[in-house]
Amino acid sequence: MVSQEGAALKLFQSHRASLVDYARTITGNESAAEDVVQDAWLRFRNACNAVTLREPLHYLYRIVRNLAVDENRRTALEVSRCPVDVEAITHSIASDAPSPEDIAIARNELRLVRAALGELPERTRIAVEMHRFGGHTLAQIAGSLGISVGLAHTLVADGIKHCHYRRKRSK
């Protein structure tokens, strides 16, 4: 003997596709229709466990209809509270691309930093370039240049100070 819940599940599964189609005609949205049918199943299952239904399929369609209409009302209310103009939002969002002004400023600063690096003694310039552009650690710089880690730190710090000073002085 099949349990009442088992019979309800079998009925739901055999009509699920047509229930989704029915809900889609009301909501106009596939994902909303899927949600409505899922919610309908939960309500239908609870009703079947509580009472014996005379026309379970008719009752299931009624649940889907009511939930779909409720979904439409909820969507209309959300739209009326906060109308969304996608075009306006899209145009108001800042672009990830830098502006021509930002590009000009960055190029000028790069030119200044290159000039400042060119003014440094070779060992200091190499230490700064390895640290800032190469991502090397102070220990790696020290090993490469044959100096102590403390001296590598001093060279990098002095080189960066010089670049900052030259940048500020040119403004």
CA torsion, ordered 27, 28, 29, 30, to nearest 10 deg: 100
Q: What is the pLDDT, as a whole number, of residue 45?
A: 86
Q: What is the pLDDT, as a whole number, of residue 16?
A: 93
- Do the domains spanning 4-86 and 112-170 agree at the CATH topology level? no
Angle, CA of 113, 115 and 116, to the nearest 5°: 60
Whether 1 shows a pLDDT value over 50: the answer reads no
Domain map (residue ranges) of the chain = 4-86, 112-170
User: Per-residue pLDDT averaged across 58-74, rounded?
Assistant: 93
Q: Which fold has domain 4-86?
A: Rna Polymerase Sigma Factor; Chain: A (1.10.1740)
Q: Is the pTM of this model over 0.75?
A: no
Kindly provide the residue ranges of all beta strands, DSSP E only, lying in the chain, ordered along the sequence. none
Residue 8 CB neighbour total at 10 angstroms: 21
% of the chain surpassing 90 pLDDT = 54
Q: Which fold has domain 112-170?
A: Arc Repressor Mutant, subunit A (1.10.10)
Question: Cα(97)–Cα(92) distance, rounded to whole angstroms?
Answer: 14
Whether 17 shows a pLDDT value over 70: the answer reads yes
Distant-in-sequence, close-in-space partners of 77: CB < 8 Å, separation ≥ 6: none
User: Per-residue pLDDT averaged across 16-31, rounded?
Assistant: 93
